[in-house]
Amino acid sequence: MLTVATWNVNSIKQRESAAVQWLKRARPDVLCLQEIKCQTEAFPSGAFEDLGYNCAVIGQKSFNGVAILSKFPIDETVVGLPGDDTDEQSRYIEAVLSLPGGGAFRVASVYAPNGNPVASPKLDYKLAWLARFKAHVETLLSYEEPFALAGDYNIIPRGIDVYNPAAWAEDALFRLESRQAFRRILNLGLADAVEACNSGGGQFTFWDYQAGAWQKNLGLRIDHILLSPQAFSRLRSAVIDRTPRSWDKPSDHTPVKVTLGM
């Protein structure tokens, strides 16, 4: 079995001990992190290497930043989303992992743009980034290999993935353009692991810090693990682990984990 997880930690400096605690508890083979909010050299690789993980990181001071922690050797990496050499935001890292027995598995940690406020260039950047991501997915699919694209997509796919759809209708996370962009990516042949395992609503991965959102379960599902057909055929389970959201000084996101039969 191969377990792949994703978690937007909202600052690894503030959530290092929580990440270590969760890794000891959940023991995923691979953990993709988003919003590490530190420069590459400041990432606490040692804490995770002590747990047996190899680290691939692309950081950025105070903002963004993504990482991949892998129990398996990392053979090669793609740092930054291809297609725009002028984009300086650290939102994408990809790695090919060597599995026991000689197999390989590709995984990416994805932190898509938020896009708010919508009456600003931020929404245009979000949609352009997603179009670039779609083009890269097409390239990955041409390899016909198992892979997982795991992360914070900042997109609510369906009305049942948000506590109050009407209240979010004009937010960049739920705007029609964002959902259409996400659907175009899925329609290339990817599977949303959580939706595939349980198509019902109320499966949230994010609760705002304000207005008692966590206590009232006013959540969103914006963290997704998308699988290639070769990985989806091996999907055994997909779960949202709400426990870390209840810990002291938590991230506003909680981990998602899939299990694949490899």
The reply to whether 111 belongs to the active site is: yes
In the chain, what percentage of residues exceed pLDDT 90? 97
pLDDT of 40-90, one tens digit each?
999 999 999 999 999 999 999 999 999 999 999 999 999 999 999 999 999
Phi, psi (deg, nearest 5) at residue 98: -90, 115
Catalytic residue among 92, 136, 161, 253: 253
In 3D, which of 154, 130, 152, 39 has the Cα closest to residue 90? 39
143: buried, middle or exposed (CB in 10 Å: 19+, 13-18, 0-12)? Answer: exposed
137 contacts 78 by C-beta, under 8 angstroms: no
Span 106-115, mean pLDDT? 98
Catalytic residue among 53, 92, 111, 153: 111
Query: Is 241 annotated in some ligand binding site?
Result: no
The reply to whether 224 belongs to the active site is: no
Query: Is 35 annotated in some ligand binding site?
Result: yes
64 contacts 89 by C-beta, under 8 angstroms: yes
Q: What is the spatial distance between Cα 173 and Cα 118, in angstroms, rounded to a whole number?
A: 10
Query: Is 253 annotated in some ligand binding site?
Result: yes
pLDDT of residue 211: 85
Domain range annotation of the chain:
2-260
State the chain's mean pLDDT as an integer: 97
C-alpha pair distances (Å), 8 with each of 99, 120, 135, 178: 25, 24, 24, 20
Query: Is 54 annotated in some ligand binding site?
Result: no
pLDDT of residue 234: 97
Single-letter amino acid, residue 217: N
pTM of the model: 0.97
Q: What is the spatial distance between Cα 89 and Cα 107, in angstroms, rounded to a whole number?
A: 19
pLDDT of 137-193, one tens digit each?
999 999 999 999 999 999 999 999 999 999 999 999 999 999 999 999 999 999 999
Residue with tokens 């050499």: 85
**Which CATH code fits 2-260?**
3.60.10.10
- Whether the pLDDT of residue 228 is over 90: the answer is yes
Q: What is the spatial distance between Cα 127 and Cα 120, in angstroms, rounded to a whole number?
A: 12
In 3D, which of 258, 7, 69, 23 has the Cα closest to residue 147? 258
- Whether the pLDDT of residue 262 is over 90: the answer is no
| Ranges 100-104, 107-111, 120-124, 130-134: which has the least confidence | 100-104
Catalytic residue among 29, 53, 152, 161: 152
The reply to whether 143 belongs to the active site is: no
199: buried, middle or exposed (CB in 10 Å: 19+, 13-18, 0-12)? Answer: exposed
Q: What is the spatial distance between Cα 226 and Cα 163, in angstroms, rounded to a whole number?
A: 22
pLDDT of residue 101: 86
Query: Is 10 annotated in some ligand binding site?
Result: no
- Whether the pLDDT of residue 24 is over 90: the answer is yes
pLDDT of residue 204: 98
pLDDT of residue 129: 98
